[in-house]
A and B are shown apart, each in its own frame.
Chain A
Amino acid sequence: MSAPLTDPAALRDPLWLRLGAQLRNLAPFVTLIALVLLFSLLSPSFATLGNVSNILQQVSITAIIAVGLTYVILCAEIDLSVASVANAAGILLAFFTLQDSSVNIANLPLPGPLAMGLALAGALALGAVTAFGVTWIGIPSFIMTLAMLQIGNGIGALLIRGQIAYNVPDLVVALGSGSIGPVPWIVLVAALVLLVGHLVLAYTRFGRYVYMVGGNREAAEHSGVAVKAVVAAVMMISALCSGIAGMLGVAYFGSAQQNQFDNYLLDAISAVVVGGTSLFGGQGGIGNTIVGVLVLGVLNNGLDHIRMDSFLKILIRGLVLLMALVVNVYAQRLRAQRRGIG
């Protein structure tokens, strides 16, 4: 065996070019560190162990949804139905759990594991419909998942009929709102989903196909990759993650009701994009999403700690998303220039 031919070209490029090429990964990381430093300086209550646990707990649901969304965006698709599917799954779970007589819904009590299974199956069924529409019929995912957003909301509304249901299976209550020692269970679940998401993406054949399909769909097709199957799978994965997040969310919030996940659509998309996963597909990953989720979580929490006007907060989050989009598109262009469009 002779010397391996694996010295990367980057070793010979000047420093600024190397950094430029890493812009997509560096910018979110630098932002995160800067935010942590800033809030630590401005507020004594920010950098405490209790608050760290707080932040992690606050971002857990977003993180779980964002894992599925990372797959979708890596494939150069989008899923706007994530929050709505999560809501539907949460409501399904409550629907299949015995509620107080004061809750006036056509409640169908089942054993806890069965209720959980049905809620997940419901989310997956919605994902299957999305996958079918996007791959088989050929509806652009943007518009297909917009329809699915409404359908998910509709199913939830029909089942819960404007009521608030408080009961969910014990296991879900424990995972969503309990903790093991000082660590909330929901953070562990989110960490597990992130880990599995990362392993599949980085180390399996399927994960490689996700990157290739997103990077150059035509080339993937010419290489004999079953592109439609890959796209269908990522839409299903997204629905599965939304389903898990939806069930845990009900326990986390303490109740199931209509529209309770509405903020999570924007949060999850923002997290993926802020983390630096390319909107054009093919570049990024779960590592990026973790950083993105934390940037948003720290920002959200930190602004409260320095007593920022909560109405101004909304605007600030919008501006952060805009900045991330600029970096995202700029990183793409830099990359294209560097390889001179071969």
Chain B
Amino acid sequence: MPSEQAPLLELRGVSKRFAGVTALDSVDFTLGRGEIHGLVGENGAGKSTLMKIIAGVHGEYDGEMRLDGRPVRLRSPRDARDAGIGMVHQELSIVPALSVAENVLLGRQPLNRAGLVSWRRMRDQARAQLRELGIEVDPAAPAGALPLGLQQMIELARVLLSGARILILDEPTSALSPPEVETLFTLLERLRASGRSVVFISHFLDDVLRISDNVTVFRNGRRVGASPAREVGKSWLIERMIGGGHERLEESYTDARTLPPRPSTPAVLEAEDLGVAGLFEGASLSIHAGEVVGIYGFMGSGQLELARALSGKLPLDHGTVRVDGQAAKLAGGTPAAKRAGIAFVPESRRAMLFAPEPVYRNISISILERINHFLVRPRREREIAEGHVRRLGVRPARVDLPVGQLSGGNQQKVALARWLTHLPRVLLLSEPTRGMDVGAKDDVVRIVRALRAEGIGILVVSSEPETVLSLADRILVMRRGVLAREFAGEAVGKDRLLEAA
């Protein structure tokens, strides 16, 4: 067996380009037998691209991949599965209405002699398989009714049952409670003892350092650090993840800032003890007039959901919200929130714009009741829209163009313009600069500053530290559904935010 000496999985000089943009630049990566390998880096650093190459999702790339010392090229997820590589995505692919047993054995249900599904054998097999992983759960229970942690275990069991020797876990702990994380780690240790290997991708650096044998850091498509986990600490990882800060961003779009002191203006929004089961708990915050409050947290930490709840879109389980001292009855949904003076720009542009409708109608939709009493007045709508389009520099500057034909950054400007004519008291912005180029991000910063100058309260929620750092006057950090830290009136950079999250 010549493969005994070779590592289980080895990649050499792997590069991948998407439409001229380099996602991975000549990367090496090695995974040994019975090793847990932590992989960290910011969004877009190349971790996911590398894992997708290993999992057969991207078949076209430069460089070499060896499995057991033999060169391989996996052209589909099926190839990867046959080679013993399995991936558990952050978004689970559990079928909620099916039973645990059906989910574990999906696609390979045991048959009886008549060629029909043998339910008894299926339950027995699933129970045995789960017990082997240290999980006690009724195989007949519907999978969707289980807590998220158990659902993840079931998906893991399914991947393992398909014969995976290499398991790739993408952000496995982000949605788990601390005891669930313990269960997962026990399971991973058991897998390691049985000689299987795990790639563990996560933003939660403490988790990565605790469970991994080795860690690798990615930045801008390059491997910028690799070390045995026990020899390094969190600060070593953060330093490498964000680099020396040499790449200078646009003036207003920054990754370090000195926050102004707390404002003395009255609070426009006061939220107390907000909670939605399973998403966030005990969230209390206030936003003052002329203040931008930022909430930063990793993907899935609950900050986006908090903004949705404040917009009336997601029903709150408990808590009170006041706008200008008046209780806002958010149970009435988004129209009630709008009446209370709360406006929301969601993270998905598809969820806020009417793509086939012209720009001016997209701008006027939320102020129709202000500019028309009964009949619509398209000329007035156009005038208002033209003003905003000029002021915000929307390109092309044509209000009759269907908004779906604009670029992402310009669509975002149109979505913001909607709230500029009649200002709300509180503006909630969810991921306002996601997926934009630097110039467009700069424009968003300018618009938000202009709105702040009008004296409204603004809340920015994001999982990108730069977004919050560029926009916010005061920063809250959300960690697993809890507002864990506040930065105000002090110098703060990306490293401290990451550290707190």
Contact = CB atoms under 8 A, between A and B. Distances in A.
Contact of B346 (A207, A222, A224, A283): A222
B235 to A, nearest CB: 40
B335 A224 contact: yes
Nearest to A226: B335
B313 interface: yes
A205 B374 contact: yes
A215 B349 CA distance: 14
Interface in B348-370: 349-357, 361, 365-366, 368-369
A224 B357 contact: no
Contacts, number: 112
Contacts of A211: 357
Interface string B373-387: 011100000100010
A207 B403 CA distance: 20
B184 to A, nearest CB: 34
B365 A7 contact: no
A221 interface: yes
B144 interface: no
Contacts of A209: 368
A302 B411 CA distance: 49
Interface stretch (B32-40, B394-402, B466-474): B394-402
Contacts of A218: 351-352
Contacts of A50: none
B365 A221 contact: no
Interface in A64-98: none
B399 A5 contact: yes
Contacts of A4: 382, 386
Interface stretch (B108-116, B117-125, B162-170, B337-345): B337-345
27 contacts: A4-B386, A5-B400, A9-B400, A9-B402, A9-B405, A204-B376, A205-B374, A208-B365, A208-B368, A208-B376, A209-B368, A212-B361, A215-B357, A219-B352, A219-B353, A222-B313, A223-B334, A223-B418, A224-B335, A224-B338, A225-B366, A228-B333, A339-B402, A339-B404, A342-B349, A342-B406, A342-B411
Interface residues on B, range: 35 or more
B399 A6 contact: yes
The 6 A-B pairs with the shortest beta carbon distances in the complex, nearest first, are A224-B338, A339-B404, A223-B366, A226-B335, A342-B404, A218-B351
A3 to B, nearest CB: 10
Nearest to A211: B357
Contacts of A339: 355-356, 402, 404-405
Interface of A: 4-9, 203-205, 207-209, 211-212, 215-216, 218-226, 228-229, 282-283, 335, 339-340, 342
A211 B364 CA distance: 13
Interface string B30-52: 00000000000000000000000
B349 A205 contact: no
Contacts of A342: 349-350, 355, 403-406, 408, 411
A221 B345 CA distance: 11
Interface string B221-265: 000000000000000000000000000000000000000000000
B103 to A, nearest CB: 27
B389 interface: yes
Contacts of B390: 5
A54 B333 CA distance: 50
Contacts of A221: 313, 333-334
Given A211-B357, A219-B351, A222-B352, A205 B404 contact: no
